Every structure is written in structure tokens, then in C-alpha cells.
Chain A
């Protein structure tokens, strides 16, 4: 249904898409995975017929997109949902009115539209909210409504640009089920982009996109063979870390688990500790395909002032905007020198909370203190802040940005010079220092913004979603810098993120959902607590995960998609035989079953669903 050959697109000087080609057949879901700025949206807009292209052929639904007339004919059968929350919706119309509007837009007969609307509302669980205004929906519901509106006219091709970014894990799971279900039942084709590496398995085939190019393309299983062997160590990690760093590539330490890539298979006795070979995931593939950046993070200075034991204390903090409660009765303490994570989907209240702590917003009720002071105005000098995405002046150069922030905090000139050279070294931007910051890739921008916020050697830094949309390699480097700042300089870090897997980088966490703190504690403690309640979690590799989910749901068991199979939650232990007994009558083949420890995503889902 889609045939793209040698597609090229440039914006002024920049080549956004370089020689890209792919095919999508009926019933297939083709995925575009890559960091922000890789060119995913550009490809999608071209295939949706809303953007022109310079070179190559694009054939969608049998129409040649080089001809304007044919493009228009195809567009009637395409549904396109642009990136961003609810951009295709009308915020002041209700759920139902939005769907009705799209039905009218596509000239659907009244009866048909009504039936279809009811069906879509039912499968998305939006029926109870049909009268609610679109702007008052949560992020997850907004995206589900967006997909409903796209599906109302039974399109033949569904194009969704990052439908799941920043929404909560439960809605993400529901959204995927909705998409997979409709594509297979109605024989559509779909083109979907995502920046979550762990969503790769949902696709029939996918392309890994970096800097406008497809660096790898194929079925998820094929792609995984591209990265050699992946190993994990989860005991005595600290001791073997230096040796492993020397010998292997892409060494990542998340909590107590060390993960690394080896070009060839290694003997079990090769290292003094137990190593386990694990199934590669797409993040491993991404790391293997992109050249690793060797950046040594040093910390040439130490903290000038110290903060008390509790760097931040928050007591029953609440913020209300009109009738909407953004932060509700949140309490926690951050110890000095700690990396404290605020983890939750978009709209959970993370940004509002950070803004209150910085003095940008006045709380409705409750109290807090930062570095022992109740008024954040008094501690401005020792606080650093990095706002969501917009910390840098785009129209100033890298050097000008650094100088500006240094001077704003009155860093003495000789010290500032030193710090700037440190910052340039750490970001690897020494050569590019006279370029404007808007030309930088997102990962580097965020790293530079972090540097800008610590030039004045603050004791406490607030980082608001610093890694959102950044590719895995850059995210890893970013967290390395945070660890050095916290570990060696002694900076206390409050960082928010919507990536559940980044929880492991934090010392302690506050999980947030819809304005409330649903759990506070160290990542391993949270997981252990959750394990007691959830019971056993099994990863089951099988051939038709979607069908398996249906079967389990009918039996009242909870399960979710996971990579190439499902994750099943059960209070009783389950064996391979049990599972086969469950699935074989339906003709499903089970390859493997493995009991796993809960992930933070499991913790989150558990806490939200059991509330």
C-alpha cells in the first residue's frame, strides 16, 4: 500500500531525509524508530501527502504522489495524526462532537457514523467521557480520541506520528491494542513512529532512523541479529566495571545491573563473576549501529556551599488551576547529594511541582523548603534549573549562551573561563562553539543546557524532562554527567522523566500520576514492594501475542505486550505446561517462559490499577 523509493527531502541547507526506501503491505504495521530530529515526521508527512518532496518516488494506495491530483485522491483514504497531544482535535468540543465532526468531514452516512462511533468509544473505554471537552482529557485519553477520530472513516492507511510519546504506560498499552486490533481486523496498513525503543516488537517491520537515513530495516527479529551478543551481570557489579569497560562496548549500568555488548560470544568463565547472555533489544541494536561517543566526564570543581541534610522538603503541596488540580497533596524529602527522580507520564504534575519549587508558581496550599529556605527567592544563587527543552537561546551561539548564563550568575571572569572550557570539553563542542545552538542535535542541546545550568556551581539542580526525545546514546551520556555531578561534586539533583527505564539511574524516586505521588522510595525497594503484591511475572515468548492477550483477558487474567511476547501477571507460580495448556487449544505456539522481576513500569501499572 506504500512504496517509497529513494526519497529525498531538504529544508534549506539541511538534508532531512536522505535516500530512504521502504514498502508497507496490507495488514502490516511499519514502524519508524529514532530520536527526535531524525526525520521521522518528515517521512510521515510526505507519505500522508501533506508535504512535498524533492526526489524519489512515493506511491501510496496505488497513487503516484509526484502528481498532485493523484495525491488528493489518495488523501481521502488516509488518516494522519500529527505529532503532539491532540493537535488534530478541537479542544473546546466534547469527545463525541470531535468524532462527529470527523465523520461529517468525511461525508459518512449518519447511521454508519453512529455505529462506528459507538464501537470506537467502547473499545477505547471513552464511553463514560463522551460529554467531556477534549482539552480536559488526560494525555492518554487525548491520544486515544485522536486515533478514534482518525479511524472513523475506515481509512485504508493509518499514519500516526509518535502517538505514545509521554503518555502513561497503561494508555500506551491500550493504544497499541487498539491500533493492532483495527489494522488486522479491517485490513489497513499503518505507518507509526515512536521514540520508545521497547515498542519495536509491535511492528511487522521497522526502520531505525538516524540523521535522515534508515540505518537498519527489517522485521524486529532480523534487526536484533545485527548487534552481536548482549550480556548482563547483576552481582559484584562495581568490582568488574572497570575491566568490562576496557574490554567491551556500550557498557550501561542501570541500578545494579550491568549490560554490555560483545562482538563475539564469550565463555562463561571469561570473567570472575556470573554473566548471563540475554536477548538483545532494540536499544542494543541502536547502540551497536551508531558510533559510540567517548566522552570522559570530569568534575574539576567541588561544591562551594553545602546544603543541609534535607536539600528539599515538600509537605502536602497542592497546586490548582481553576478546577484542575495539577499537583495534589504531595510530600517528600530529598537528601543532600541525592539523585531524586520524578517519574510519571505527561500531565502527571511533574513540571508544575518543579516550577513551584523554583518559585515560578505559587502553591495553592502546602509548604516546601529548598536548601532550608521557605522562599526560593533567597536561594537563587545556589540553584540551577533546566527547563523542559527551552533552556538555550536559539539565536545565540554556544559560547554566547555559556557566557550569558555565567555572567547572569556573576561568575568571576577567570573562573568562568575555566568552567566554559570544561563545559565545552564535556559536551565535545569545542570546535563548534561559534555556531548557533538551534543547529545542534537535541541530545547535544540538552547536554549544553545542563552545562549552562551548572556553570555557577549550584548545590541543587532542577532538571525538567532533560532527556525527552533524546536517543539512547545521548541519554546515557547525559546520565553519566548527572552521576558525576552528584557523586563527585556533591550536587543534589531533582530530575523528572517520563521514561520508566530511567528510574534505575536515580537513587530515589517519586512516582507520579494525575497530580498525586503514588509511591516514593528507591527503585529496588519499590520493585520489591510491588513484587509482594503482584506475585509472579512471566515473560512468555509466543507466536501471536495479540491473540494470547485476548484469551487471557477472557479468563480475567492481566497481561501486557512485551517485546516478542507477553508479560503475564499471576499470584500463583505458573509452569511452561500450564501456559501451553492455556494457549495450545487456540493454536498458539509458546516458545519460552521465564519468570522476571518487576520493572518500574510494572510497579507503576500495578499502583495505578490497584488504586
Chain B
């Protein structure tokens, strides 16, 4: 009865906090949708200028090979000081600079040109130089009359599994869902606890016979319920429905992982809530814990690319197991027979973290 009353209270308080309700709805719907359609990891409409000192047929032909929709040619620059200007003002991702003896050299077979890249947009710059390099190579080979087949180059034939078109919405939609989920798992219990503290109600509960653990579990359960509903809506309505990304594996298995993950991580959230005096502190603390968790999960940088000493640390990020499992289920459709190590890791880690947070909580109160 007491526990039910606490559950009811948490749920009522959540529904009455209009700002939070809107945030949660936004996170699970519009945010995932925007990420799915809006964040594209391929080169599109890359603005560039050319600084052509040669201005020969060849040089112009060369520039014209950088075609839409990948490239967008914005014009010729008349002097080299303009190069700086367009790059500094972010008017272009890159500038193709062609020396005056380009066409002559090309006939001799040793033409050179320069690609100036705006590195402040690292990803686009990287893609730009890669794509453009390929285009120039093709052009030079063709100009030299060499057919690729006759030339001793190792050509790769790529076959992409799970996402044959390399469509980034496959990846981005699910990635964003996982990100907002992680954020909410951190923020919701912390917010609920801090709110209680800021308004001073928590004292009333601490003096009453309610056990702190009972009170925390009520909060976590309600938050877990909200997140589960959100995830379900997001997967069926947004990811499968609107983005039309297939969800290959078992949705129930995914929910199981989500639940275990929520319990693992809510310990963090509660701890943040217990340690923080107000919402500002809570947000700062959650960033402090969220950042390493995200970083160590390998969601930003592949784990293999991290320094050797850091790699073992990734095992303490619950997000690592959860991310690996979620991508596995959603994109590859694998089942528990593949994912049991992740589930085991998550559970063990979860137990440790939960016990630790409860201990810390008791000390804070």
C-alpha cells in the first residue's frame, strides 16, 4: 500500500511536470526522427571554389568533374588572398588550386595541383579530400589513356552487410535513440530526487517510516516505465514507421537489455540526485559522469583506437555492453546466443554499481 502510494505519487508528479513531459516526448520522437533524416555522414553539397592560374581546357575540365550532388561549385577565385577569405568565413569546405603550368605538365605526365581544406569541419573536410582525390585520380588515368584494368592497381570490391546502401539513417536513428535514452536514464531519477530536495519534501519522507531504498526504487521503477514506453513508441512509430529502418532482432530482447541497463545506470542517476543540492549541480554532475560513460562506451571513437591503457577501462562503462547489444539486435538481428556475454557483463556491472550507489546514497543522507 505504501509502495503503491509512492509509485502513484511519482507518476502524478511526472505527469504534472509539463516541461519534463514535453522533453521526454520530444526526445523519443522528433529528436530521433531529426537525427535519422538530418544527420548524414556522406558528402553532400560540399561548397568549393577553384583558384585556377592555368585556366586551360584541362584545368576547367578537371574542376567540372567535381559534380553535384556531392560537390557544389561556387565559382573561381581571382587572387590567392581570396582563398583565405572563403576558408576563414566558412564559405567553402575546400578550394582547388591549380598552378599555371598545369596543362603543360599534365601532358608530361607529372601535373600537380593543390587541395586546400577547411579543417574546422573535420568530417566534411576529410570526406571532401577523399572524394576529390578519387575524382582527380580517375580523371588523370583517363587523360593518360590508361584503362583501370590494364593498370596494376589493387581495386577493392566492397560488400556491405546489414545496411547495404550504407544509409546513415539506419545507424543514426538507433544511435540517437540510445543517446537520448542514456541521457534520460541519468536525468530523470536525478531530477525527481533533486526536485524533492529543492522543495524540501524529502525531509518529510526521511522522518516517516519510509525506507530510503523503498523510496528510491519507486522512483526508478516509474522512470523505467516511462522510458520503456518511450522506447517502444520510438522504435515502432519513428524508426520502423516513419524512417522505415528495419528492426531485425527481437524487440523483447532489446527491452530486456534496456531494463537491465536502466537499473544499472539509475544508480548513477540517484547518486547524482542525492549528491546535488539543486538542478544546476545535478546537470553539472550528470555531464561529469555521462561524458566518460559515453566516451568509454566506444560510441564516439572505436575502442581499438583508444590508447592501450584506456581500453580495459571501457569494460566499466555499462553503455558499452548496451550499445553493442542494441546494434546487434536492431541492425544484425542477433539473439541471446550471441549476446549473452553482454547481458552477463551488464548484469554484473549493474549489481556492483547499484550496491555502490545505495551505499553512497546512505552516506549522503
Q: Which residues in B have their C-beta under 8 angstroms from that of A387?
A: 200, 203-204
Q: Are A360 and B207 in contact (CB under 8 A)?
A: yes
How many of chain A's residues have a CB under 8 angstroms from any CB in B? 28
In the complex, chain A residues 220-276 whose Cβ is within 8 Å of any chain B Cβ: none
B198-235: which residues lie under 8 A (CB-CB) from chain A? 199-201, 203-210
Contact A391–B201 (Cβ < 8 Å): yes
- Whether a CB of chain A sits under 8 angstroms from the CB of B147 is no
Q: How far is the CB of A389 from chain B (nearest CB, A)?
A: 7
Interface assignment of A383: CB less than 8 Å from any CB of chain B: yes
B17: A residues at CB distance < 8 A: 395
Contact assessment for A410 and B207 in the assembled complex, using a CB-CB cutoff below 8 Å: no
CA A340 – CA B5 in complex, angstroms?
Answer: 33
Q: Which of A377-412 contact B (CB under 8 A)?
A: 380-381, 383, 385, 387-396, 400, 403-405, 407-410
A380, A389, A395, A407: the one within 8 Å of B207 (CB): A380
**Complex CA distance for A407 and B7, rounded to whole angstroms:** 11
Interface residues of B in 1-18 (CB under 8 A from A): 1-2, 4-6, 8-9, 12-13, 16-17
- Are B4 and A360 closer than 8 Å at their CB atoms? no
User: Quick check: B207 and A358 within 8 Å, CB to CB?
Assistant: yes
**A408 with B209: CB separation less than 8 A:** yes
Cross-chain contact A403 with B12 (CB below 8 angstroms): no
Query: Does A573 touch B at the CB level, under 8 Å?
Result: no
Q: A388-B200, A390-B200 are in contact. Are A400 and B12 (CB under 8 A)?
A: yes
Could you tell me the distance in whole angstroms from the C-beta of A531 to the nearest C-beta in chain B?
A: 40
Instruction: Say yes or no for A56: interface residue by CB 8 A criterion.
Output: no
Q: Is the CB of B12 within 8 A of A396?
A: yes
Q: Which of B16, B199, B203, B210 contacts A408 (CB 8 A)?
A: B210
Contact of A410 with B2 in the complex, beta carbons under 8 Å: yes
Are B205 and A408 neighbours in the complex by a CB distance under 8 Å? yes
B200 and chain A: residue at smallest CB distance: A390
- Of chain A, the residue at the smallest CB distance from B205 is A408
A343-363 CB contact bits vs B (8 Å, 1 = yes)? 000000000000100111000
B364 to chain A, nearest CB (A): 13
A400 — which chain B residues lie within 8 A by C-beta? 9, 12
Chain B residues lying within 8 Å of A393, measured Cβ to Cβ, are: 9, 13, 199, 201
Q: How far is the CB of B254 from chain A (nearest CB, A)?
A: 33
Counting chain B CB atoms within 10 Å of each CB, the highest count among A355, A381, A396 belongs to A396
Chain A residue at minimum C-beta to C-beta distance from B3: A407
Q: How far is the CA of A381 from the CA of B206 in the complex (A)?
A: 12
Please count how many residues in chain B sit with their CB below 8 Å of the partner chain's CB atoms: 22
Bound-complex Cα distance A395 to B12 (A): 8
Residues of A within 8 A of B209 (CB): 380-381, 408-410
Residue of A383, A389, A410, A453 touching B200 (CB-CB under 8 A): A389
Asked if B5 and A408 sit within 8 Å, CB to CB, the answer is yes
How far is A194 from B203 in the complex, measured between Cα atoms in Å? Answer: 29
Chain A residues lying within 8 Å of B8, measured Cβ to Cβ, are 404
Bound Cα distance from A358 to B8, whole angstroms? 26
Task: Identify which of residues 149-196 in chain B touch chain A, using a CB-to-CB cut-off of 8 Å.
Answer: none
Complex interface: chain A residues within 8 A of B207 (CB): 358-360, 380, 383, 385
- Which residues of the other chain, B, contact A404 by a CB distance below 8 angstroms? 5, 8-9
Residues of B within 8 A of A395 (CB): 12-13, 16-17
Q: Report the bound CA distance from A400 to B16 in whole Å.
A: 13
Chain B residues with Cβ below 8 Å from A383 are 207
CB closest residue in chain B, given A464: B203
> 0/1 per residue, A50-75, Cβ < 8 Å to B?
00000000000000000000000000
CA distance A392 to B206 in the complex (A): 14
Q: How far is the CB of B277 from chain A (nearest CB, A)?
A: 14
Complexed CA–CA distance, A390 and B202 (Å): 9
Contacting residue for B203 out of A360, A381, A396, CB 8 A: A360
Produce 1/0 per residue, B21-56, CB < 8 A to A. Answer: 000000000000000000000000000000000000
Closest to B14 in A: A395
Of all A-B residue pairs in the complex, the 5 with the closest CB atoms, nearest first, are A390-B200, A407-B5, A395-B16, A385-B207, A380-B209
A-B contact pairs, 6 of them (CB 8 A): A395-B12, A396-B9, A396-B13, A400-B9, A404-B9, A410-B2
Contacts A385-B203, A396-B13, A408-B208 aside, 8 further interface pairs with beta carbons under 8 A come to: A360-B203, A380-B207, A380-B209, A390-B199, A390-B200, A394-B199, A396-B16, A407-B5
